[in-house]
Amino acid sequence: MERELAYKLLRQYEKKETISNESVKQARNMLDERSFGLFKSLVWGSIRNIAKEDWLISKFVDKSKDLTPASLWLLRLGFYQLISGFDEHAAVYETVALVSSKKSKSFINAVLRNYIRAKDTLGNEPENVKYLLPKWLYEYIRKRHTFSSSIIKFNTSTPRRSIRVNSLKTSREKLLQMLADSKIAAQTAKYSPYGIYIDEDSLALEETELYRKGYFYIQNESSQLIPILLNPQIGEQLLDLCSAPGGKCTFSAELMKNTGSIKAVDNDISRLESVSANCKRHGITNVSVQLNDASEFRDAFEYDKLMLDVPCTSLGTAYAHPEVLFRVKKEDFERYAQIQRKILTNAMSNIKVKGEIAYSTCTLSWEENTGNMKWLKKNFNVSFLDLRERLGSLGVKFHFDGYGAYIFQDEGLIPFYIAMFRKETLKTEEKND
């Protein structure tokens, strides 16, 4: 049943280019814990390895580009199992069992068995296949970034699962003890002073009593860096223009000891409700939420500090959502950059002189990161804060582009871009495009 459900979800993904959360929930209700683990491995593993699967298919199928969608996904599913250490007989048998047509059964069976016989004679795979990347994206990263060797492997490893302690309710040391008492294996995080690694990947953290009581927030270490670098102070007024679901917002409120004020803005009502729910769970009282677009929101006064975790192509989330690698197109980099520039322009009208803005994305494209910061410098009177010393003191590996830092993925971090700048004059836009 696991393979049947996985195949159906992969066909849905083919049509919608996204994974249906509802379908995943249905599968979870139908399967026990072990079977659900296998189901997830088949779905996300098949998607993550598309570049390699398609290369193998091209080796064993003439005119592979003419395959029907059904045959293509069956072969991808079969090849994923064969390259991932599944029992070969079971992988072939169970994959072929998903096929209804006798002719198609013979075809799928023959291709997979031909691979098993010839797998040791295939030769070296192309570089983009080695790193499980679409060819165009591999070539883009190699051409665009001088530090490409440090980031090109971002899709071939998975960072450790991390949470952030709620310092309003407890300390990291006490939370580690509470986790141990609850038989949850955990360790101090490498970079964030508030972070903890959780060693059990399959554990539903949202269902634990410690989570429900607001002792921690599930948040990657890269994301935790933003409030740490912005360093909001007690009594300040902070604006979070792209707030949902509230990770950086709640962290900032905790750093501010529930003082001052935070306005959390988002244009999605259901996601904005999650900000309110997370604040309530954490015992946070200095946050107010507002439904609005980040490129349009204006307040009656200007803020001390501002966070912009802008909408982006999200390539840095490929460790958890490999589907993004095959959904994003090169033209999306510029399309998102234009959206981000509108948000940046509006942000400059909401920050006071000498106020600081933290800009971040979870993607690798030059257009959405360095390109936008060059554009900002050209069009607004801002000064950039040099993040190198602070990131270095935390032990973070990064590339500094003169404006901000590309964070390199490792055991705790996902690919991220962070830049911080200060508004220097009252006049928000004083230069020509």
Looking at every residue in the chain, the average pLDDT score rounds to 93
In this structure, CATH architecture of domain 161-214: 2-Layer Sandwich (3.30)
The reported pLDDT for the residue numbered 279 is: 97
pLDDT at residue 16, as a whole number: 81
Taken in order 6, 10, 12, 18, the sign of the CA dihedral is positive
Q: Are 382 and 338 in contact (CB under 8 A)?
A: no
Mean pLDDT of 280-299: 96
Please enumerate in sequence order all residues whose Cβ is within 8 A of that of 244, keeping only pairs 6 or more positions apart, or say none. Answer: 264, 266, 268, 271, 272, 274, 275
**Residue 429: pLDDT band with limits 50, 70, 90:** very low
Range from 17-31, 166-180, 185-199, 261-275 carrying the lowest mean pLDDT: 17-31
* 3-state secondary structure (DSSP) of residue 27: helix
pLDDT band at 426 (very low <50, low <70, confident <90, very high): low
Domain 221-423 is found in CATH 3.40.50.150: yes
pLDDT at 23 over 70: yes
Contact criterion met (CB below 8 Å) for 171 and 193: no
Least confident segment among 201-210, 320-329, 350-359 = 201-210
Average pLDDT score over residue span 95-112: 91
Mean per-residue pLDDT for 136-144?
Answer: 97
Q: Please report the pLDDT score of residue 216 as a whole number.
A: 97
pLDDT exceeds 60 at position 430: no
Residue 428 pLDDT exceeds 80: no
d(CA 279, CA 314): 25
Contact between 346 and 292 (Cβ < 8 Å): no
Q: Which of 17-26, 117-126, 144-153, 216-225 has the lowest mean pLDDT?
A: 17-26
Q: Specify the pLDDT at position 432.
A: 45
* Residue-range domain boundaries for the chain: 2-125, 161-214, 221-423
Express each pLDDT in 29-80 by its tens digit.
Answer: 898 888 888 989 999 999 999 999 999 999 999 888 889 999 999 999 999 9
Res. 328: pLDDT tops 80? yes
pLDDT for residue 262 is more than 60: yes
- The answer, yes or no, to whether residue 188 has pLDDT greater than 80, is yes
Residue 251, SS3 per DSSP: helix
Percent of the chain with pLDDT over 90: 81
d(CA 191, CA 193) in angstroms, rounded, equals: 6
**Across 140-166, average pLDDT:** 93
Q: Read off the tokens for 296.
A: 């349009």
Statement: the pTM of the whole predicted model exceeds 0.85: yes
Identify the CATH class of 2-125.
mainly alpha
Average pLDDT over every residue of 256-279: 95
Q: Tell how strand 416-423 and strand 186-188 pair up.
A: unpaired
pLDDT of 387: 96
Place of tokens 């994923």: 80
